Amino acid sequence: MKSNELIKKGSDFLKKNKIKSHVIDSELLLSSVTGKSRESFLLNSSLKISPNQIKSFNNLIARRALKKEPVAYLLNEKEFWSIKFDVNKDVLIPRPETEILVESLVRYYKDCNPFILDIGTGSGCIIISLLQELKKSKGVAIDISNKALKIANKNSKTLKTQNRIKFVKASISNFKSLKFDLIVSNPPYIARHQLKNLDVGIKKFEPKIALDGGNDGLDVMRKVIYNSRKILKINGMLALEIGNGQYKKVSQILKLNKFNEKFLINDYKNNIRCILSSLNHY
């Protein structure tokens, strides 16, 4: 069977099973089993695919369509900030929304070398992407999950930032440290009662610990804000990713903790997604 026929067949099956991203998913899965890029299928629509490759492809399509397993976990990788990150079920799949946070910080700190703390690093996507851009920066990344730290460490080695990032198993509540210029976090921020409304693929496969933000979704956010105060340098910045509709509440928490909002960044759907704030010292 030829590549274009196979992509169409896979995509049709995914569509029938209500997978919205059916075309790109089918292309990505075929690309992974053949080791050829998606572009090569577009340039030559009749590439020959071996029977073994067809079998592996069909197997992945079935897992995606029937079990709703996310493509990133099927392939064990996800592109973020144009970088390939290793992922598995121990870490949240890096999201395009989080790239907005990285983008704004890269722009703000261009030609500077902030000392950075990443709270709840997961795959390490935020701090590794930042350090790939800010070549002289260094940082620390913490997470309470050993399994996540293993993946983050692996990514840091592959992407050659291992000499500039120290990974530490810690919760922000008991993390004692030097002071930072920039603290960044995409904490779990889904309200517990809303977890059941998430897409099946997220609900079934992504780590709950990376999603569950407690009763109102802001339990971890509060801890991050409160504890950041003590470990930020004067004029240091706290950069947070927040959930839909959380701006007002998070803004209040920031104010209570003497933070001064400097920039708000909207996502592709025009929700306020990131807040950059600095600390007021009186």
Residues forming the site for ligand GLN (CB under 6 A): 92, 94, 98, 120-123, 125-126, 186-188, 210
CB of 207 to ligand GLN, least distance (A): 7
Reference 279, options 207, 217, 230, 245; nearest CA is 230
Give the Cα separation of 139 and 84 in Å (integer). Answer: 20
Give the Cα separation of 228 and 257 in Å (integer). Answer: 10
| Closer by beta carbon to ligand GLN, 10 or else 187 | 187
CB of 46 to ligand GLN, least distance (A): 38
**DSSP H helix total and E strand total for the chain:** 11, 9
Could you tell me if 272 and 266 are in contact, meaning their C-beta atoms sit under 8 angstroms apart?
A: yes
Could you tell me if 90 and 97 are in contact, meaning their C-beta atoms sit under 8 angstroms apart?
A: no
Question: What amino acid occupies position 2?
Answer: K
| Closer by beta carbon to ligand GLN, 102 or else 254 | 102
Could you tell me if 2 and 9 are in contact, meaning their C-beta atoms sit under 8 angstroms apart?
A: no
CB of 57 to ligand GLN, least distance (A): 28
CB of 122 to ligand GLN, least distance (A): 3
| Closer by beta carbon to ligand GLN, 213 or else 236 | 213
| Closer by beta carbon to ligand GLN, 10 or else 114 | 114
- Note the residue count of the chain: 282
CB of 209 to ligand GLN, least distance (A): 8
| Closer by beta carbon to ligand GLN, 119 or else 254 | 119
Q: Which residue is nearest to ligand GLN (CB)?
A: 122
